[in-house]
Amino acid sequence: MKHNECELNIPYPPIEVEEKNFRYAQLLLEDYAGPNGELTALTQYFYQYLITQNQYSDFADQMECISIVEMKHMEILGKLIVLLGGNLFYGTYDCGKYTFWSGYNISTTENIRNFLMENIEGEKLAI
């Protein structure tokens, strides 16, 4: 599958900030690499792509596309964090302490129905 097949031809807003703001950068870390953030989402969808590609190739292709789109979202957030003066970190910052992202954030279920339900719930939490 070609990666450009996974994207809409709708441009994202420009990636820019008016001034550095370390607190905003820290807040964006939650969306970047928190338990319900983009790193978790792209890892979850990519895992689902890998485990379904032999048996359900059309479905797997969709999971691959979604993981690519999530990676684009992560890239945008990462660029914003840097522009805001923050440090990229695979985790979150809260109450003066950093917490690393963990593979425990993703579900390793192999039941398609279950992981579709988990995906829907994960997207709701990310909003």
Q: Any idea what the CATH number is for the domain that residue 122 is in?
A: 1.20.1260.10
Answer yes or no: is pLDDT of 1 > 70: no
Within a domain: 85:
yes
The rounded distance, in Å, linking the Cα atoms of 115 and 41 is: 12
> Whole domain around residue 119: which residue ranges?
19-126
Q: What is the pLDDT of residues 71-109, one digit of tens each?
A: 999 999 999 999 999 999 899 988 888 899 999 999 999
The rounded distance, in Å, linking the Cα atoms of 125 and 105 is: 13
Residues 39-51, mean pLDDT to the nearest whole number: 96
Within a domain: 9:
no
- What confidence category does residue 58 fall into, taking pLDDT thresholds of 50, 70 and 90? very high
The rounded distance, in Å, linking the Cα atoms of 41 and 43 is: 5
Would the annotation count 38 as a binding residue? Answer: yes
Would the annotation count 70 as a binding residue? Answer: yes
Closest CA to 15 of 83, 90, 85: 83
Residues 23-42, mean pLDDT to the nearest whole number: 94
- What confidence category does residue 2 fall into, taking pLDDT thresholds of 50, 70 and 90? low
Number of domains in the chain: 1
Within a domain: 103:
yes
Within a domain: 47:
yes
Residues 106-122, mean pLDDT to the nearest whole number: 93
CB 63 within 8 A of CB 48: yes
Tokens 């895992």, located at residue: 47
Q: Is 98 helix (H, G, I), strand (E, B) or coil?
A: strand
